[in-house]
Structure 1
Amino acid sequence: MTKENMEEGVNQKNVESTQMKEEKKIDEEDTKEAEKVNLTKVTTFEELLEVVGTRGKWNVLTFLMCILVAFTSPLQTLSYQFLGATPDHWCQVTPLLEANWTHQQILDLAIPFSNSTGRPENCYMRDYDYTAAAALGYQTTMKDPSAVLRNSSSLIQCSVREFNLSQYISTVVTEWDLVCERRVLYSTTQAVMQGGKLFGFVLFAYLVDALGRRPVVLVCSAISIIAGFLAAASPNIEFYIVLKFIIAAVDAGQYLGIFVFVMETCASKYRAGAGTLIVIPWAVGYMVVPGIAYVIRPWKLLQVAYTVPALYTIIYFWLLPESPRWLIDQGRYQEAFKVISWVAKVNRKPLPADQVVLAAMENIYHQKAQGKEADSATKTFTSRLLNLLKQLLSLLLISELRVRTIIVFFCWFSASMVYYGIALNATNLSTDPYLYIFLGGLLEVPSYLLLWPALIYIGRKKSLVALYLFCGLCIFSVMGLMLTYPGEAEVAKVFFSQIGKMAVTAAFQLAWMYTAELFPTKFRSLAVGQASFCARIGSTSSPYINDLLGPYTVWAPSALFGSVSLVSAALAVLLPETRHCDLPESNDFFTKTKEAGAEGREQGVVDQDEGVLNPSFVSEAGETGSQIHPRKSDTH
């Protein structure tokens, strides 16, 4: 061995020795720092979350991974106007087509002109003997149409239509003749999406609490992808509608599980930002919907294109953990410890000994378990069913939650009805659907971003009231323009409509976050799910209001949407403020607050303007929520 090689080996050993010493020093420092972490007095999950990090690498990456699921939802929910785009159509006159008459010749003889629409009639034709007309020829028949007239002045409704395929190559409307007497099926293709969400939010609200956030999200993601591709191969409208229902239901379960997971793994001081940013991908997907439809016109290829982005959710099978807050609430400390340890490792936060962390989790569980009644084992099917019904109705059975539950349910109902009613009202406004829906998606971004500072500096309640009020005034302005300038002032109508939609968009998103803050952990998923059920009742009615009521009285949908917005603004005044409060952990939160209110403000009275107090909230001075109350001048 040469001298140079010996010196090189010695230097290598010195480097390795130095590295080992540095690593040992870092480990010792981490151990000392971990020993300084005091978990013996931890009573809430928020306090434990502060220990493992609230804005570290894990928090940011997991948040970004989760919120991207919102991008895929509007691709299915808002696509029915493009999948079911309706070209100009008129009655199909088979004898004339077989005689090789041109479209224009058929229109001249068989189809009357509608003065109200300025176009040929869509669903009616003249009662002529078209077999005789075909035999006579176009020129002869047009010289004396009375020669083939069966009834002097009547029009007859046709059962088969002919479409102008130069406008749209293929849509679900042209595929299955969804016009005239079958038009209700076209509205049903959208209504069933909302009905599916309605069903999904009720079903998965229970399953998310019973089985956990992760398994529900994974199953829903897989079903959504499969059903999305199958919808493009639907052999008939009935099968298509069923698949659309399934897609909407599992999308609801997927979004509900992700939303609850994000809110439960987010510190209270960041919830306003998280609740706002989580829907930015929705706005992006909203804008992408008309762009994809403009490029891809055949509806089967368009349905495939709208489903492909959902393949992204496959990564959840490897990267999405279970909510540690839920695991602790279920008493599954070991599983929660694995997640918490992973979070701390990625965030480079030291943790005390395993036993200390597990003891802290057990302490959190027992704090939340105080006040819970022992649930006796039910052995019969009837008793199990009654117990399930009691759980589903628990929000209305608990007196402390009843009033706010009813108000929250109506606010969700109105927000969803108005949101989808405005978003899909391009036909009644006589405007370009591609531009109208793109503008709707574009304006969602500022509505979400402006909501963020409003929540911080104004609060939840005042923001919600103002948004509903402003939306109602804008929609009534649209109605006024329709009455004053029928068929005119298109730009003004679109302007007020989109500004009103900005307000209700922000109100809808605020309703999600506000509801999560108003209800304790035990009922949080149930509250959000049942509120979403009410929202889907509203959104299910929207396409029928626009497609069936609008053609008869063009301003009627605006009158209805504006009215429910104003009623929601009035009801929202009765809700408590939740700014600066941690997420409530148990129903005892409300009971203690109510009792404290009987003793006076010094003991923690509930003030509708200043907020509901959380006994688990700890101030910088060490005071608990029962000793202090949030001040209006405070910010996150």
Structure 2
Amino acid sequence: MEQKKEINLDSILESLGPYGRYNLFNFVLLLFPVLLTSFFECGFIFEAQEQMYSSPCGDRSEYICHHPFSSRGCRTRRLREYNGDRAAASFVLLLPSTAITNPSTGCEVHGCEERFNDTSWLKYAVPTNAEKNLPESCTRYAPLQNRTIEQCLPEEFTNKTIPCDSFVYEEGKSFVKEFNLGCQEWKRALVGTVHNSGMFAAMLVTGAVSDRFGRRVAVGIAATASFIFGISRAFAPDYITYLVLHFLEAAFGGGLYPSAYVFAVELVGLKQRVIVSAMCNMTFVVGVVLIAVLAWFVDNWRTYILILYSPAIIVGIYVWFMNESARWLLSKGRRDEAVTTLKKAAKINNLDPRTLDLDALSDPLLKPENQTVDKKSQFSKAIRSSIIWKRLLICSFLWLTCSLVYYGLSINSVSLSSNKYVSFMLVVLVEIPAYIVVVIVLDKYGRKKTMIVTYTTCAATSLLFAFLPRSDLWSIPLYLIGKWSVTLTYSSVYIYVSEVFPTNMRQTLISVCSTAGRIGSLIAPLTPLLVTTA
């Protein structure tokens, strides 16, 4: 008796054509949430950025301390020579736990600005930071008790310094101004910490939801949650409400990228996964560049949020009309639904479904020994397997180190340009060559060899960069090579991790590895402190 022929899903997907109309259409639908994810994950960098204000004298300054005896006034500053460091301080909000003091704030002293056309009075009205040779940010010299500053003379001030207790802000709708965060850098920095905490929580839940209820459900929930909490955040009446909504948005919507990514990868066979991954990565880069452009032209932080989050509802609606991943359906034993999906794909690609021999479709997970019901979680099953347990530990470590180095280099990279928007775009655009190269080298040399070479290259160039003076001609090329290497490594790790775990628990375990990566992203902002404490 002739044995029944069996074929697997990868061979069917290859027969369907990885670049047929069905896949291309679904890729576009899934790349859109990937684009939006870049808005949601990086948008807060400019949303709660360090502010630069314009004084009537034409110089740039930040928020200015309001003297208790004055009703109005202006605090002018000469910061042209310090703009590069200010741009760096602005970008560090990418991972904002970094303790950076505000270098460009200062106290307003009523009577002095009106009396003089220069800043000569600062030396006896406002303390000077000896290290930076700039007026102090958040302190001033106290006036004589019960005296009003009238002539702005040295004898009207004491040598005692006192903190500023109120601020005068530039006209406009800025996050710092609306919530009165002058000289409270930790509150502004806390925005990013809350965001990363929410993303950390999302990684713990997203995988389980995606593996149990499907990729489509996970994408739909994440997109809808991002829309609801993101739009709500734009109308936050106070700072605490803003933080709560920011955490909820990240916690419930933070799984949008991994869900859409896994959904897209499962549309194709093994050979096309590298290309799909590169497409997702480059789409993310395009989105981050768009953020910088948008922030450059939109100075109202509430309008900025509304523009970023409004498109999420589009994904939240159309995803329910998409077909579920055939690979996920097979992993759940829903073979008939998987076959129906594949027949639809064949018709859209102008193929006769009968030529695919779908009746012979099989999957290891459909065999009787794999159909037993286990009430314990899929994660518990994985832990009981020594092979998967080892893979989980190794992949988590790979992800953690990649995240730590990637974001650590991003923090220091803003010194490449004095314009924070240009710096941000430059740092992101350097990743595109890495995503192009990864498509070539991963298939030609394999995952492990590629990661070994790129890890080593990144480590070597980063160490050399650390010991070279910034004025050295090789410093910037070394930095760019290091950033390029770690970007290529990050992309390789993402693909490698998505391939070493079984389908029915893939996203759960990917989420565990991604959670480890979030630990790295939380540690990275602390690395600059090593320089100041060494």
State the TM-score, normalized to the length of structure 1: 0.69
Q: Tell me, yes or no, if structure 1 residue 400 matches structure 2 residue 387.
A: yes
Q: Assess, with a 3 A threshold, how the Cα gap between structure 1 residues 338 and 394 changes in structure 2: closer, same or farther.
A: same
Aligned residues of 2:462 and 2:478 also touching (Cα < 8 A): yes
Q: Tell me, yes or no, if structure 1 residue 115 matches structure 2 residue 87.
A: no
Q: Distance in 2 between matches of 1:425 and 1:248?
A: 25
Please identify runs of 4+ aligned residues in structure 1 that moved more than 6 A: 427-430
Q: In the alignment, what sits opposite 2:452?
A: 465
Aligned residues of 2:330 and 2:366 also touching (Cα < 8 A): no
- 1:207 deviates by 0.7
Q: Tell me, yes or no, if structure 1 residue 94 matches structure 2 residue 49.
A: no
Q: In the alignment, what sits opposite 1:565?
A: none
Q: Assess, with a 3 A threshold, how the Cα gap between structure 1 residues 102 and 215 changes in structure 2: closer, same or farther.
A: closer
Q: Distance in 2 between matches of 1:124 and 1:551?
A: 26
Q: Assess, with a 3 A threshold, how the Cα gap between structure 1 residues 64 and 267 changes in structure 2: closer, same or farther.
A: same
Aligned residues of 1:53 and 1:349 also touching (Cα < 8 A): no
Aligned residues of 2:37 and 2:256 also touching (Cα < 8 A): no
Q: In the alignment, what sits opposite 2:139?
A: 124
> What are the equivalent positions in structure 2 for 1:226-237 lying under 5 Å apart?
226-237=228-239
Amino acid at match of 2:373: D
Q: Tell me, yes or no, if structure 1 residue 157 matches structure 2 residue 163.
A: yes
- 1:110 deviates by 3.6
Q: Assess, with a 3 A threshold, how the Cα gap between structure 1 residues 93 and 552 changes in structure 2: closer, same or farther.
A: farther
Q: Distance in 2 between matches of 1:351 and 1:57?
A: 15
> What are the equivalent positions in structure 2 for 1:414-433 lying under 5 Å apart?
414-425=401-412, 431-433=418-420
Aligned residues of 1:428 and 1:550 also touching (Cα < 8 A): no
Q: Distance in 1 between matches of 2:526 and 2:166?
A: 23
Q: Assess, with a 3 A threshold, how the Cα gap between structure 1 residues 498 and 460 changes in structure 2: closer, same or farther.
A: same
- 1:40 deviates by 4.5
Q: In the alignment, what sits opposite 1:262?
A: 264
- 1:534 deviates by 0.9
Q: Assess, with a 3 A threshold, how the Cα gap between structure 1 residues 272 and 250 changes in structure 2: closer, same or farther.
A: same
Q: In the alignment, what sits opposite 1:360?
A: 360
Amino acid at match of 1:129: L
- 1:364 deviates by 2.5
Which of these residues, 126, 133, 138, is aligned with residue 151 of structure 2? 138
Q: In the alignment, what sits opposite 2:193?
A: 191
- 1:101 deviates by 4.4
Amino acid at match of 1:57: R
Q: In the alignment, what sits opposite 2:372?
A: 374
Aligned residues of 1:191 and 1:543 also touching (Cα < 8 A): no
Q: Tell me, yes or no, if structure 1 residue 240 matches structure 2 residue 212.
A: no
Aligned residues of 2:278 and 2:436 also touching (Cα < 8 A): yes
Which of these residues, 452, 456, 461, is aligned with residue 443 of structure 2? 456
Q: Tell me, yes or no, if structure 1 residue 539 matches structure 2 residue 521.
A: yes
Amino acid at match of 2:459: G
Which of these residues, 37, 50, 56, is aligned with residue 14 of structure 2? 50
Amino acid at match of 1:513: I
Amino acid at match of 1:138: Q
> What are the equivalent positions in structure 2 for 1:227-626 lying under 5 Å apart?
227-314=229-316, 316-317=318-319, 319-352=321-354, 357=358, 359-361=359-361, 363-364=362-363, 368-369=366-367, 371-372=369-370, 374-375=372-373, 387-388=376-377, 391-425=378-412, 431-481=418-468, 484=469, 494-545=476-527, 549=529, 552=532
- 1:311 deviates by 4.5
- 1:162 deviates by 4.4
Question: Which segment drifts farther, 513-522 or 533-542?
Answer: 533-542
Q: Assess, with a 3 A threshold, how the Cα gap between structure 1 residues 507 and 101 changes in structure 2: closer, same or farther.
A: same
Q: Tell me, yes or no, if structure 1 residue 171 matches structure 2 residue 174.
A: yes
In structure 2, stretches of 5+ residues that fail to align are 53-60, 77-107, 110-120
- 1:197 deviates by 1.9
Q: Distance in 1 between matches of 2:13 and 2:416?
A: 50
Q: Distance in 1 between matches of 2:239 and 2:408?
A: 23
Which of these residues, 207, 220, 223, is aligned with residue 221 of structure 1? 223
- 1:315 deviates by 5.5
Aligned residues: 481
Amino acid at match of 1:224: S
- 1:312 deviates by 4.3
Amino acid at match of 1:419: Y
Structural RMSD (CA): 3.0
Secondary structure of the residue aligned to 1:156 is strand
- 1:352 deviates by 2.8
Aligned residues of 1:276 and 1:448 also touching (Cα < 8 A): yes
C-alpha offsets along residues 234-260 of structure 1, whole Å, 9 cap, x if unaligned?
112222222222332344322222111
- 1:268 deviates by 1.4
Secondary structure of the residue aligned to 1:125 is strand
Q: Distance in 2 between matches of 1:397 and 1:158?
A: 59
Secondary structure of the residue aligned to 2:132 is coil
C-alpha offsets along residues 72-120 of structure 1, whole Å, 9 cap, x if unaligned?
122232233322222344662432432x444257272542121323322
Q: Assess, with a 3 A threshold, how the Cα gap between structure 1 residues 341 and 39 changes in structure 2: closer, same or farther.
A: farther
Secondary structure of the residue aligned to 2:162 is strand
Secondary structure of the residue aligned to 1:127 is strand
C-alpha offsets along residues 329-364 of structure 1, whole Å, 9 cap, x if unaligned?
21223322221111011112212399x73x434x43
User: What percent identity do the matched residue pairs reach?
Assistant: 24
- 1:545 deviates by 4.4
Larger Rg: 1
Q: Assess, with a 3 A threshold, how the Cα gap between structure 1 residues 250 and 335 changes in structure 2: closer, same or farther.
A: same
Q: Distance in 2 between matches of 1:190 and 1:550?
A: 20
Secondary structure of the residue aligned to 1:138 is coil
Aligned residues of 2:4 and 2:360 also touching (Cα < 8 A): yes
Q: In the alignment, what sits opposite 2:24?
A: 60
Aligned residues of 1:170 and 1:297 also touching (Cα < 8 A): yes
Aligned residues of 2:413 and 2:427 also touching (Cα < 8 A): no
Q: Distance in 1 between matches of 2:208 and 2:434?
A: 31
In structure 1, stretches of 5+ residues that fail to align are 1-37, 379-386, 557-636
C-alpha offsets along residues 176-203 of structure 1, whole Å, 9 cap, x if unaligned?
34454x3223222112222222211220
Q: Distance in 2 between matches of 1:112 and 1:492?
A: 39
Q: Assess, with a 3 A threshold, how the Cα gap between structure 1 residues 539 and 525 changes in structure 2: closer, same or farther.
A: same
Q: Assess, with a 3 A threshold, how the Cα gap between structure 1 residues 241 and 264 changes in structure 2: closer, same or farther.
A: same
Aligned residues of 2:224 and 2:312 also touching (Cα < 8 A): no
Q: Distance in 2 between matches of 1:174 and 1:313?
A: 33
Secondary structure of the residue aligned to 2:140 is strand
C-alpha offsets along residues 551-582 of structure 1, whole Å, 9 cap, x if unaligned?
835xx8xxxxxxxxxxxxxxxxxxxxxxxxxx
- 1:159 deviates by 4.3
- 1:215 deviates by 1.2
Secondary structure of the residue aligned to 1:517 is helix
C-alpha offsets along residues 445-472 of structure 1, whole Å, 9 cap, x if unaligned?
1110011111121111111122222222
Q: In the alignment, what sits opposite 1:581?
A: none
Amino acid at match of 2:218: V
Q: Distance in 2 between matches of 1:315 and 1:90?
A: 42
Q: Distance in 2 between matches of 1:464 and 1:177?
A: 46
State the TM-score, normalized to the length of structure 2: 0.81
- 1:537 deviates by 1.5
C-alpha offsets along residues 207-239 of structure 1, whole Å, 9 cap, x if unaligned?
101111111111211121222221111112222
Aligned residues of 1:89 and 1:161 also touching (Cα < 8 A): no
- 1:535 deviates by 1.1
Q: Which has the higher contact order (CA 8 A, sep 6+)?
A: 2
Q: Distance in 2 between matches of 1:43 and 1:373?
A: 19
- 1:543 deviates by 3.9
Aligned residues of 1:113 and 1:119 also touching (Cα < 8 A): yes
Amino acid at match of 2:49: A
Q: Assess, with a 3 A threshold, how the Cα gap between structure 1 residues 474 and 162 changes in structure 2: closer, same or farther.
A: farther
Q: Distance in 2 between matches of 1:196 and 1:400?
A: 31
